[in-house]
Structure 1
Amino acid sequence: MTPDDTAQNAVLAGLSESPFARLRALLDTPSTQSEHISLAVGSPRHKPPQFALDCLTDNLASYGDYPPINGIDSWQIAARDWLARRFGLAPEIYGAPHQVLPATGTREALFLAAQIAPDGPDKKFMAMPNPFYQLYAAAALSAGATPLYMNAVAETGFLPDPSSLSDDTLDQMRAVFMCSPANPQGAIADWAYLDQWLARAEKHNFLLIMDECYIDIFDRIYEASPPVSALNVAAKRPEGLKNLMVFHSLSKRSSLPGLRSGLSVGGENLMAQFLKLRMLAAPQSPIAAQKAAALCWADDDHVQENRSLYQAKIDLAENVFGANYGFYRPEGGFFLWLNVGDSEAVTKLLWEKGGIRVLPGTYLSAYLGAEAKGENPGAGYIRVALVGDMAEMKLALPRMHDILSAEGIK
């Protein structure tokens, strides 16, 4: 048997390479700078709350026990209290014991959510923004669905236009992935926008999967009135949470990506199916991690401090870049989405001349096919992750601007 004859998995064959694997291949040339700065990976590097780290240390012995997959009591209380406090929700809308569940990070939970989406002979699509978090496409393909990419560009406010899909397409929809604040553009979905998607989910019987992991990282204009959740909108609709699952994370909120701790909440029947699948196929969150997570969900002060650090770095970026590269202040999240003309060429330029790693927007997007003339909506952009400290930003951002300006890129 030759290597070409070996058995292959059709799902894996349909997956594209990770954006970061592609980035490593692109930046295979040396940089003239000895000091390298990575602004490519969206992994928060602010100091995590010390009380969470202390809690992990104090509960090391709990790693000797199997944790409950539906969450320890202190986690359940803290998570439900946070949902009520942060979004002003009546606890009754997620009152069933299984309606709020821990997850080992939103990545795992979002993947599994796709597996319980409505199916049937006439259900074949799962839609997602384009650009998008690559996990959405992997989840759709693994669920046996066809990914459907919806452009999220400047002309649509960097969110997909709900009216762009026909009723016939929506009838064939199994799930729609949505992210607010959006990754990478930072756009926040308002009440009316979310209401449009919920109305379509109810009418056409598909699952709306809301990735809200950046929802507590927002610009200062939202301080008096923080971004709403799809939960807020669903709570006011006759169908409630019936077609909705929402996911939150401590990775961004509390700068604890390594804790792998998230929160899942949704309709009663959906979450019953979700729990059934997780009990068979998902890892439990360790007891120590759940205890630390409970403390984080119960505390808002460290989140405000974390948010202020990001706001200060966006202030710096605004001062450095001005109106160049289509700069705008992201409403939420910690990414800059800069329009530089050719994302791969500029990424390579910034690396070779500045030792700075960014992520080409083309690696976060899908080509839309012949009807769209091969358009890739991220091809002209780079994603810049403001995850390092201010000292690093003060080195990296002016250096980027100098390199781009010298090349005549505006």
Structure 2
Amino acid sequence: MNPDLERLHPYPFEKLGALFSGLPVADKPHIALSIGEPQHPSPDFVQQVLRDNTALLSRYPATAGLPELRQAIAGWLTRRFKLSGVDAGRQVLPVNGTREALFAFAQALLNRADDPLVLMPNPFYQIYEGAAFLGGGEPVYLPCTAASGLQPDFDAVDEAVWKRTRLLFICSPGNPTGAVLSSAQLKALIQLADKFDFVIASDECYSEIYRDKAPPGLLQACAELGRHDYRRCVVFHSLSKRSNLPGLRSGFVAGDADILAGFLRYRTYHGCAMPVHHQLASIAAWNDEAHVAANRALYNEKFKAVLDILGEPLKVSAPDAGFYLWPKTPVDDETFARRLKAEENVTVLPGRYLSRTVDGRNPGKNRVRMALVAELDQCIEGAQRIRALIERL
């Protein structure tokens, strides 16, 4: 087997299962706030497109996707991020959800012979690390602390590190922090990419779940700099969170056409084309904003209700975007999560499971990730049970 497989860490939910092993079962219904799987109903009109097109299961899909889907995506990017002249044929590539695309991207991009560094936020979506390992790169973890606004402090990165960097993963809005990189920060990163010749891969899957102001995107920052070729920049977007369609496995990569040409070649051999009826359903989803606004309103209602209960005892406020809370815990994060499961039958994810310890510090330690994905009444009950545990500690 590929020896790099041995470098992969257990996934956070494997660790969570081990943490809960042998616990007594509380006499209360389970409330899961640990996994970021959207629970709101998927749009009826998308489901109808799927039902109307099952006959297309008899067709092999093209890896590059239908021209109509690429055009729908280009149109959405143009409207959402104030772009102009997006080349749907060369600057857009549909993918089967951004998870598989993020993982595959590093393998297509990196040259092992370069001994490349892959920079990523810490805490982070675990796929970034696995992608670096399997692509022959070495991860460099950039701590996201309160002092740096819960995003990496890029000014603290040594120039020697930038010189060896071939790929930078950013996540804005952040998972799990919900923190957003500003347009000025994105532009500064683009300038660094030019100076040190690396690629920026921007995971923007939570961009449509925000509180008050739509977060800027990497391609938007490029356009404001007059870089309509989006050189060295690619973005990853998904219908999973935006449209409550995690099971559709539909997303896209967009940006630098030269990079996407190589990635398309890789994916053609990889055999990961999106089914045609999924593509048609995706067209419908990308072309509609009403369901997205309604979805966003549901999350904002849950944040308000939950923070009315937990804001004071956990000293936590709503993040700029996303559907996670990332509070500090009154005891260590594993103890907090274990007692919450045992005593209240509520699951949250210890922050250390989403982070790596570097120089003796783990930025996720003594924090937990709470995903407000359940229905409003369940989120409220979960918050009440969490408060009850806090009051007993």
Pairwise TM-score range, normalised by the shorter structure = over 0.9
TM-score with structure 1 setting the length: 0.93
Distance in 2, matches of 1:98 and 1:115, equals: 20
What is aligned with 2:215?
Answer: 227
2:29 is the alignment partner of 1:35 = yes
**Paired AA for residue 270 in structure 2:** A
State the match for 2:89 in structure 1.
Answer: 97
In the other structure, the counterpart of 2:141 is 149
Tell me the equivalent position of 1:67. Answer: 61
Read off the aligned partner of 1:361 and give its amino acid letter. G
1:364 maps to amino acid: L
Superposition deviation, residue 98 in structure 1:
2.6
What is the one-letter code of the residue matched to 1:324?
P
Partner in structure 2 of residue 378 of structure 1: 364
**Can you list the C-alpha shifts for 1:115-152, whole angstroms capped at 9, x where unaligned?**
23353744421010000000000000000000100001
Paired with 2:88 and 2:17, the residues of 1 have a C-alpha distance of 46
In 2, the alpha carbon distance for the partners of 1:299 and 1:48 equals 13
* 1:77 Cα deviation after fit: 2.1
> What pairs up with 1:309-388 in 2 under 5 angstroms?
309-340=298-329, 341-368=331-358, 372=359, 374-388=360-374
Query: CA offsets, 1:354-396, max 9 Å, x none?
Result: 000111101000011xxx2x21110110100100101111211
Deviations 1:272-314 (A, max 9, x none): 1111111111411001100000000000000000000000000
Distance 1:205 1:116, change over 3 A: farther
**Runs of 4+ with >4 A deviation:** 120-123
- Give matches, 1:370-409, under 5 Å: 372=359, 374-407=360-393
Deviation at 1:47, TM superposition (A): 0.7
Q: For residue 339 of structure 1, give the secondary structure of its aligned residue in structure 2.
A: coil
Q: d(CA) in 2 for partners of 1:361 and 1:190?
A: 24
Contact in 1 for aligned 2:94/2:252 (Cα 8 Å) = yes
2:15 matched to which residue of 1? 22
Question: Where does residue 210 of structure 1 map in the other structure?
Answer: 202
1:318 Cα offset (Å): 1.4
Unpaired segments of 5 or more residues in structure 2? none
State how far apart, in whole Å, the 2-side matches of 1:26 and 1:141 are. 26
The structural deviation recorded for 1:229 is 0.6
Letter of the aligned partner of 2:222 in structure 1?
Answer: A
- Is the 2:110–2:135 contact (alpha carbons within 8 Å) kept by the matching residues of 1? no
Deviation (angstroms), 1:162: 1.1
Displacement of 1:193: 0.9
C-alpha contact (below 8 Å) 2:28/2:344 kept by paired residues: no
Q: Give, in whole Å, the separation in 2 of the partners of 1:58 and 1:122.
A: 49
> What TM-score do the two structures reach when normalised by structure 2?
0.97
Question: Where does residue 5 of structure 1 map in the other structure?
Answer: none
In structure 1, what is the equivalent of residue 165 of structure 2? 173
What does 1:166-205 align with in structure 2 at a 5 Å threshold? Answer: 166-205=158-197
Deviations 1:169-209 (A, max 9, x none): 11100101000100001001110111111111111111100
Please list the CA deviations of residues 193-240 of structure 1 after superposition, one character each: whole Å capped at 9, or x if unmatched. Answer: 111111111111111000000000001x21xxx211100111233654
Instruction: Give the 3 Å change call, closer, same or farther, for CA 276–9 of structure 1 in structure 2.
Output: closer
Amino acid at match of 1:21: E
Structure 2 residue matching 1:246: 3-state secondary structure:
strand
Hey, what's the Cα distance between the residues in 2 that align with 1:322 and 1:160? 25
Q: Is the 8 A contact 2:108 2:263 kept in 1?
A: yes
1:250 to 227, 239, 245: 239
Partner secondary structure for residue 274 of structure 1: helix
> What residue is the counterpart of 1:237 in the other structure?
225
Q: Is the contact between residue 112 and residue 136 of structure 2 (CA under 8 Å) also seen in structure 1? A: no
CA RMSD across the alignment:
1.3
* Matched residue SS, 2:327: strand
SS of match in other structure, 1:177: strand
Q: Partner letter of residue 52 of structure 1?
A: V
Aligned amino acid, residue 375 of structure 1: R
Is the CA contact (8 Å cut-off) linking 1:123 and 1:174 kept in structure 2? Answer: no
1:50 to 39, 44, 54: 44
Describe the shift of the 1:314–1:272 C-alpha distance in structure 2 as closer, same or farther (beyond 3 A): same
Aligned residues: 390
Structure 1 CA distance, aligned partners of 2:44 and 2:219? 30
Aligned-partner residue type, residue 214 of structure 1: Y
Please say if residues 208 and 245 of structure 1, whose CA atoms lie closer than 8 Å, have aligned partners that are also in contact: yes
**Cross-structure match for 1:306:** 295
Query: Hey, what's the Cα distance between the residues in 2 that align with 1:232 and 1:180?
Result: 13
DSSP-derived class of the 1:116 partner: helix
SS of residue matched to 2:326: strand
Q: SS state of the match for residue 341, structure 2?
A: helix
Q: Do the aligned residues in 1 keep the contact of 2:67 with 2:89 (CA within 8 Å)?
A: no
- Residue 68 of structure 1, CA deviation: 1.4
Q: Aligned to 2:99, what secondary structure does the other structure show?
A: helix
For residue 178 of structure 1, give the secondary structure of its aligned residue in structure 2.
strand
SS at match of 2:106: helix
Measured after TM superposition, the shift of residue 71 of structure 1 is: 1.4
Cα displacement (A) at 1:9: 3.4
